[in-house]
Amino acid sequence: MRMPKALFLIPFFFISLLAKAQLETSADFRRTVYDREYTFGISGHTRGYTVNGRYLKYQDGFVKQGFELDLAKLRHPKEVRSSILSSNSRGFVFGRINSFYTARFGYIREKIMYDKTDQGTVSISLVTSGGLSLGLQKPVYVIVAQENENRSIERYNPLEQTASITGEANWFTGLFRTKLRPGVYGKLGVAFDYDLLDSKVTSLETGVIYDFFFADVPIFFETSNTSINVPGFFQIYIAANFGYKKN
């Protein structure tokens, strides 16, 4: 499904607003400054989905920094899942020979640009992070119908099996043949803090991410005449983050 073009402009719109912000605040309530913060997040992006964990330490009332761990699914732009008529079979993506995931580990910094003016209002922060992106390339296995009406599980080969495929095999098939593909990532986002309790974290975040791996990622089958696999993945994301603060 194509994302609306307007969605791609959302992060840039908010980031441009933050460029004019100042650290001055007219808050009429006493905001507690905590020592550290732990959060868990889930997000959807234009290449799949992500779960996220963060540890942040407060430097002062406006800046916190620390580390984050992302586990993300990255899809190729050409991925379209084919349906299988059988009710007990899973569909598969024609031409996709590997599923691709990444584990990101990096430094993160969050800076409050617009502070709360009351306990029930919203603060806006600029989020930047970057670090290692360890790609996980897992081969795709499919269920293939045989002439004797039996079925076998085989590694997907689009040149030989397409007509006899009845569905994709269990996700765990081929897990121990996963290959590592190292890379790096960078993230720029805007967080909207809706905390109703000062000790809790409830925020929405939107922005952009770019993962770059040191070689083309072979998600799709290629012939000598085609070149559709790429080393980089640009994503627009929207995330919900939850957690708590400690002293």
pLDDT at 92: 77
Q: Which of 104, 47, 110, 114 is nearest to 243 (CA)?
A: 110
CA–CA distance, 101 with 82 (Å, rounded to integer): 20
DSSP lists the bridge partners of residue 184 as 132, 212
Beta strand ranges found along the chain (DSSP E): 36-45, 48-58, 63-74, 81-82, 92-93, 98-114, 123-139, 141-145, 151-155, 165-168, 179-193, 200-213, 232-246
pLDDT at 241: 96
- From the first residue on, what is the mean pLDDT of each consecutive set of 10 residues in the chain (247 residues)? 52 50 46 85 95 95 94 88 54 87 98 78 93 97 82 86 79 94 98 82 95 95 82 96 92
Q: Which of 62, 191, 56, 193 is nearest to 119 (CA)?
A: 193
Q: Which residues lie below 8 Å from residue 83, measured CB to CB, with a gap of 6+?
A: 91
CA–CA distance, 56 with 64 (Å, rounded to integer): 6
pLDDT at 61: 80
CB-CB contact of 126 with 108 (8 Å): no
CA–CA distance, 72 with 75 (Å, rounded to integer): 10
> What are the start-end ranges of the H helices in 123-234?
none
Q: Which residues lie below 8 Å from residue 185, measured CB to CB, with a gap of 6+?
A: 102, 104, 106, 130, 131, 132, 133, 209, 210, 211, 212
Q: How far apart, in Å, do the first and last CA atoms of the chain sit?
A: 44
Tokens of 8: 């791609």
Helix (H) or strand (E) holding 99: strand 98-114
Q: Which of 176, 158, 179, 181 is nearest to 168 (CA)?
A: 158
pLDDT at 122: 86
Torsion of CA 152, 153, 158, 161, to 10 degrees: 0
Helix (H) or strand (E) holding 173: none
pLDDT at 233: 95
All domains of the chain in start order, with CATH: 5-246 (2.40.160.20)
State the amino acid at position 11 in one-letter form.
P
| pTM for this model (two decimals) | 0.81
pLDDT in tens, 66-113: 999 999 999 988 887 655 545 455 677 888 999 999 999 999 999 999
Q: CB-hemisphere CA count at 13 Å for 213?
A: 24
CB-CB contact of 76 with 219 (8 Å): yes
